[in-house]
A and B are shown apart, each in its own frame.
Chain A
Amino acid sequence: MYVVVSLSLGFFFGFFLERAGFSSAKKLTAQFYFKDFSVLKVMFTAIVIAMLGVAYMATAGWLDMGQVYVPLTFLWPQVAGGLLLGAGFILGGY
């Protein structure tokens, strides 16, 4: 059951990423040249929807926030990692 749920969640993740055009390095990097802001739009739409959903479900008592993993903050390593990843992103395309 665990495996099936994981696989299908992954399936939809991959499906929507491809539908958004995230399989194309040119489309992904186009945002950094101010030509195509699909990546930002897709990413922030997803974040806002998931955020509101989690918030509403938590206030309505359907989702126990204590059970949800919130990534821990290690500020400087994460900033450094972000800079490295961003540089790698624009070089490699993904």
Chain B
Amino acid sequence: MDFQTIPATPESLTIERAEAMAQRQIKKHHVAIILLHWFNATVWLTELATGAALISSPHFRIAPLWYIDIVQGFFGPRAHMLWFHVAIGITWICVFAVYGTFGFRTYLAREVVEREIALDWDDFVWLIVRTLRILGKSDDPLPTQGIYNAGQKLFALMVYAMIPIVMVTGLVMAFHLGGTAAVSWAVVLHFLAVGMVFSGLMIHVYMGAVFPEEKPAFFSMVTGMVNELYAYRHHFKWWKEVKMQELEWKRELEGAGGRAGPGGGSAAATATRELTLDTPTSTRGRGGILRRIFRQPEYWPPYVAGAGLGITLLMTFILMGQGLGASGGFTRYLVALLSWVAPDYVARNPYWSEYAQPGQSPLMNFLVFELIGVVAGGFVSGWLAHRLRISVDKGPHISVRSRYGLALAGGVLTGYGARLARGCTSGLALSGGAVLSAGAWAFMMAVFAAGFIGAYFARRSWI
């Protein structure tokens, strides 16, 4: 079903070949680019929404009054909305700065300069012919296009030219840099640059979300993949590039196989190679994505799991007015048990009695229920990922018995330390760290310091 030779110009396809090509997916976007795209989209949406409402002067107002009322009702005082607008803008600048610095070679140099804005002669012809065709004045075939067509490149060029202007003028306005004249100019330039991007954005969104022929391009911004037929028809030069790479790779594989097994079995070897080449695309179904995310025994990438944890923590602050915790919950279970066995002792002890106020059960607390949820959540996660098993987690040079002994000793130290510091790694370091409690950060440093020092003495337990 593959092309024996890669054609230099697009030729007409047989139905079978077109169908086969429609089934095959090829990779168009890297995950980092997809994430950046949607981050960028969210920023533009919120910034446009708040920015439009911020322009309240009757001479320059662009949004209708009812819209401004709604947005201001949402944020309360105008100063809050301005702060929100500025904060999002600064976050945006920071993210771009990180991408630009650490991804300079991969994203800026290669992705942007060589692919996204590199207009060539074909692109100029394409723009002219495309316009004439839309006007019904021409039937000329369109020149072949690379991974982005000339229209997309023009949009990208404009956006990349305007983004620095938006960023710099935004900073000048937000922090009144460089005096009144600079700020007044910044206001005008900020509006102008945003207006330019916005006009391009209308076409961009229409093309991506509505225009039927470009549907695969929209979905490629979610899955990263486009089908080969779309690539062949719309981005022929890029398709050719991908095919050449595939061919080179196949030749390399064949060359290696030929050397490994001299003579005979080359037909079988070719067959298995075909199979390995085909399987990654054929097993990649719609149900496959969820399965890959939840059912695979590998742990999630730390930044993904960390983001989930961070959002859970944020929700906890909003809903409960406190952070997540663990040791506080265990303390409450213990107090409940103690006040059942020896209520007098609990009442007399200044530490325990704090938790056992008369008329209120020590178990009526967020942390108590949260801990039950933790057990359930951990169990479900491990169960989904086929990680449930009974085992003793230890290094190869320590017996199970000593591991149990050390675990008990470590548990005593951890428990005492956590209650002394009024919190554990979850309740103090994580939750307190997020709300910038000075003690929480001191605690965190101490934990890591002791951990790194103790690591030398405990090395036989783990490595």
Contacts and interface: CB of A to CB of B under 8 A. Distances in A.
Contacts, number: 367
B319 A5 contact: yes
Contacts of A42: 302-303, 305-306, 309
Contacts of B387: 18, 23
A86 to B, nearest CB: 3
Given A9-B324, A10-B369, A16-B305, A93 B407 contact: yes
A16 B316 CA distance: 14
A70 B412 CA distance: 26
B373 A14 contact: yes
Contacts of A9: 312, 315-316, 319-320, 324, 366, 370, 373
A92 B369 contact: no
Given A20-B300, A81-B443, A84-B450, A50 B462 contact: no
B442 A79 contact: yes
Given A11-B374, A45-B307, A78 B317 contact: no
Interface in B79-118: 80-81, 83-84, 87-88, 91
A41 B281 CA distance: 32
A26 B371 contact: no
A69 B321 contact: yes
B342 interface: no
B418 A81 contact: yes
For chain B, give the interface size range.
Answer: 35 or more
B375 interface: yes
A88 B310 contact: no
Nearest to A36: B302
Interface in B426-443: 426-440, 442-443
B414 A94 contact: yes
B362 interface: no
A23 B455 CA distance: 19
- Interface-centre pick from B84, B299, B303, B453 (highest chain A CB count, 10 A): B299
B423 A88 contact: no
A68 B319 CA distance: 10
B376 A32 contact: no
A72 B380 CA distance: 34
Contact of A53 (B314, B320, B455): B314
Given A71-B428, A77-B420, A18 B324 contact: no
Contact of A19 (B81, B299, B452, B459): B299
A43 B210 CA distance: 41
Contacts of B373: 6-14
Given A21-B299, A54-B317, A74-B422, A91 B406 contact: yes
A68 B317 contact: yes
Contacts of B410: 87-94
Nearest to A77: B420
A15 B306 contact: no
Nearest to B424: A85
Nearest to A62: B318
A56 B310 CA distance: 14
Contacts of B432: 70-71
A91 to B, nearest CB: 3
Interface string B308-348: 11111111111111111000000000000000000000000
B225 interface: no
B73 to A, nearest CB: 12
B70 interface: no
- Interface-centre pick from A42, A62, A75 (highest chain B CB count, 10 A): A42
A73 B433 CA distance: 12
A46 B414 contact: no
A27 B307 CA distance: 19
B425 interface: yes
B313 to A, nearest CB: 4
Interface of A: 2-3, 5-21, 23-27, 29-33, 35, 37-38, 41-57, 59-63, 67-75, 77-94
12 contacts: A9-B370, A10-B371, A13-B316, A18-B377, A41-B306, A60-B75, A60-B80, A82-B442, A84-B414, A85-B414, A90-B454, A94-B411
